[in-house]
Amino acid sequence: MGKTVLIVDDSNTMRKIVSRALRQAGLDFDQILEAGDGQEALASLADNSVDVVLSDINMPNMNGLEFLKAKSEDPAIMDIPVVMISTETGADIIDEAKSYGAKGAVKKPFTPDLINDTLGPLL
Amino acid sequence: MEFANKIVQATEEIFGTMIFLDISPEQPLAVGKEVLDCHVSAMIGLSGDFSAMLSVHCAKPTSLAITGAMLGMEVEEIDADVKDALGEISNMLAGYLKDAFAEEDVALELSIPTAISGKSVTISSSPTKSNRVIIPFNLEQGRFFVEMKFSLG
């Protein structure tokens, strides 16, 4: 059965760039789902079988940290690995993200190799 | 506070890593009122140990070229994708500056980026008399500008 990734970012452009970077990194997902904020991401996780999540932090409505916290409190989805992909990768923010279960972080701007190095071991 | 070099470094890294368009910076604008031939601007706020507004100003051809390169497709009109793409560039620029200043123990937080479009953008105050840095960058399709207005108080 193929793998499914959920890309969470309020920027449609960045979601497209991340999708392209996944292909360039050789990470061929059968299904790429998209969400524009944390609320949409939670809804997508409830409706789909997702193997890994790539999430921005700085988003309106529900930001990436709020999404992680909510996800960590739901037993049905709490074990799905999440990698943060954001301009915000300071130690304090990443420590908070990891406290809610984030498995790693990729800083924008990024290369496909960096995506592969961070995401590959989780698949 | 050294803004110009940080802005140039950030812009060159973003364009080299994720947009794949060749750019070359010019010297920061040093004269007074200048009408920049721009049709779309994206901006993002920074606050903390100082306050700033970082903006990216583009003429239509430049904005279409940048957006097309980011999306991997031809873009013909200034639409939501163009404003979104420039907003994301401003977001990455601000994130780079946040990290660069953090290394100097200057703490900053970022707002959510926003973008507007119109006939032209007028830069009406002198960079030498106000806390403002404007750096032009050259693309094959024309110039774009990265502007930072800041208050150290």
**HEC per residue, B75-137:** CCCCCHHHHHHHHHHHHHHHHHHHHHHHCCCCCEEECCCEEEECCCEEECCCCCCCCEEEEEE
pLDDT exceeds 90 at position A94: no
- Tally the residues of chain B: 153
Compare CB distances from A20 to B17, B72, B92 and report the shortest one's residue.
Answer: B72
pLDDT (average), residues B84-92: 95
pLDDT exceeds 60 at position A31: yes
Q: What's the Cα-to-Cα distance from B26 to each of A9, B127, B147, rounded to whole Å?
A: 33, 15, 13
Which residue out of A7, A11, A12, A13 would a mutagenesis test of the B interface target, given it has the greatest number of B Cβ atoms within 10 Å? A13
pLDDT exceeds 90 at position A4: yes
Q: What's the Cα-to-Cα distance from B51 to each of A59, A89, B102, rounded to whole Å?
A: 20, 20, 14
Digit-coded pLDDT (tens) for B17-59: 999 999 999 999 876 666 777 899 999 999 999 999 999 999 9
In this structure, what token pair is assigned to residue A39? 């609320």
Q: Mind telling me how many Å the CA of B20 is from chain A's nearest CA?
A: 11
Q: Mind telling me how many Å the CA of A111 is from chain B's nearest CA?
A: 6
Residue with tokens 């999540």: A53
CB contact under 8 A, B95 and A16: no
Q: How confident is residue A120, by pLDDT bands cut at 50, 70 and 90? A: confident
Express as a percent the part of chain A with pLDDT over 90: 78
**CATH code of the domain occupying B4-151:** 3.40.1550.10
CB contact under 8 A, A87 and B67: no
Identify the residue with better confidence: B71 or B127: B71
**Tell me, what's the pLDDT at B127?**
53
CB contact under 8 A, A16 and B110: no
A58 part of contact set with chain B, CB < 8 Å: yes
Nearest of B147, B132, B151, B148 to residue B57 by alpha carbon: B147
Chain A residue whose CA is closest to B68 = A13
What is the C-alpha to C-alpha distance for residues B42 and A82, in angstroms, rounded to an integer? 29
Name the 3-class secondary structure at A18.
helix
Spell out which residues of chain A touch residue B99, defining contact as CB-CB under 8 Å.
89-90
Q: How confident is residue B131, by pLDDT bands cut at 50, 70 and 90? A: confident
Chain A residue whose CA is closest to B80 = A12
**Tell me, what's the pLDDT at B36?**
77
Q: A8-17, A28-37, B112-121: which has the minimum mean pLDDT?
A: B112-121
Give the number of other CB atoms < 10 A from CB of residue B15: 19
In this structure, what token pair is assigned to residue B28? 């920061």
Q: How confident is residue A28, by pLDDT bands cut at 50, 70 and 90? A: confident
Backbone dihedral region for residue B142 (phi beyond 0: left; psi -120 to 50: alpha; all else: beta): left
Here the ipTM equals 0.82
**Tell me, what's the pLDDT at B114?**
93
Digit-coded pLDDT (tens) for A44-68: 999 999 999 999 998 999 999 999 9
Structural domains for chain A: 4-122 (3.40.50.2300)
Give me the torsion for CA of A89, A33, B41, B21, rounded to 10°.
Answer: 80
CB contact under 8 A, A88 and B112: no
**B56, B86 in Cβ contact below 8 A?**
yes
**Tell me, what's the pLDDT at B120?**
73
Bridge partners of B43, per DSSP, are B55, B114
What's the mean pLDDT when you consider all of chain A? Answer: 93
